[in-house]
Amino acid sequence: MTSNVAAFAGDLEALDAWLNQHVATGPVAVIAGKNGDMDTVGSAIALAAHHPSMLACGLHVGRAAQRYVAKHQAPFRRLKSEGTAWPKQLAAIVVVDAAAPEQTGLLLPDVPTCIIDHHATDGWALSNADLRIKWDVRSTTEVITRYLVTHSPSTLTVPVCEFLLAGLVTDTGRLRRFKDEVKEVNAGQECGMAFESYSDLKQGDVIECYEVEEIARSLDG
Ligand SMILES: [Mn+2]
């Protein structure tokens, strides 16, 4: 796993060259993991905003991600697990936030593949035309954010930033229902909460939650 700044910059250069090479020849699918969580869907949508030939897609969009997709009318194509109709001219695929091919829930096409992920395990078998960006960071959106900041700053519109932030926040926080770590809990049910890389919570500590709301400016301020 990569964990120093020079290697980060090198990875981002490689990613930029790889993406620009493939978008020049045809569409590039940016595929989210099948759990459809905020990190994977947010990463796919934000990265795909880099170029009009890139399209975010995946098997499933989870409840939290669904809200953001609806709010911003964000382009995300839902795919079927069998008989996926990939574009004929598909130049390449980027898979975000999936530690192995099974985690996409799809039969992936045989085209150059880029993996962008932050999980400790890795079940991908890649060839020379492929690229693996694997960082020991808290969320895949962190990798995407650094890429866009460095190589594609004009992509960082308010909605794109909101997807990136939501991906980071939801992947870092953890909810617990009985013995299991869960992504979400139904309203009215009890659950425990934990934060990644932080376990020193004491009585009296306050957990603040916030929701980002966008309000259009009006003529009278
Ligand atoms: Mn993740």
The whole-number average pLDDT for the span 56-82 is 94
Q: How far is the CA of 153 from the centre of ligand 1 (A)?
A: 22
State the average pLDDT for the chain.
87
The whole-number average pLDDT for the span 51-73 is 95
pLDDT of residue 211: 57
Residue of 37 and 177 predicted with greater confidence = 37
The answer, yes or no, to whether residue 121 has pLDDT greater than 90, is: yes
pLDDT of residue 3: 53
What domains, with CATH codes, occur in the chain?
A: 5-169 (3.90.1640.10)
The whole-number average pLDDT for the span 61-80 is 94
Q: How far is the CA of 172 from the centre of ligand 1 (A)?
A: 9
Banded model confidence at residue 128, pLDDT cuts 50, 70, 90 = very high
The whole-number average pLDDT for the span 133-152 is 95
pLDDT of residue 150: 95
Q: How far is the CA of 118 from the centre of ligand 1 (A)?
A: 6
The answer, yes or no, to whether residue 198 has pLDDT greater than 80, is: no
Q: For residue 209, what are its two tokens?
A: 């939650």
Q: How far is the CA of 145 from the centre of ligand 1 (A)?
A: 13
Q: How far is the CA of 221 from the centre of ligand 1 (A)?
A: 39
CA torsion angle 127 20 28 1 (round to 10): 50
Q: How far is the CA of 115 from the centre of ligand 1 (A)?
A: 13
The whole-number average pLDDT for the span 198-204 is 66
pLDDT of residue 204: 73
Ion ligand 1: residues, Cβ under 5 Å: 39, 97, 139-140, 171
The answer, yes or no, to whether residue 24 has pLDDT greater than 90, is: yes
Q: How far is the CA of 144 from the centre of ligand 1 (A)?
A: 11
Q: How far is the CA of 90 from the centre of ligand 1 (A)?
A: 26
Q: How far is the CA of 205 from the centre of ligand 1 (A)?
A: 26
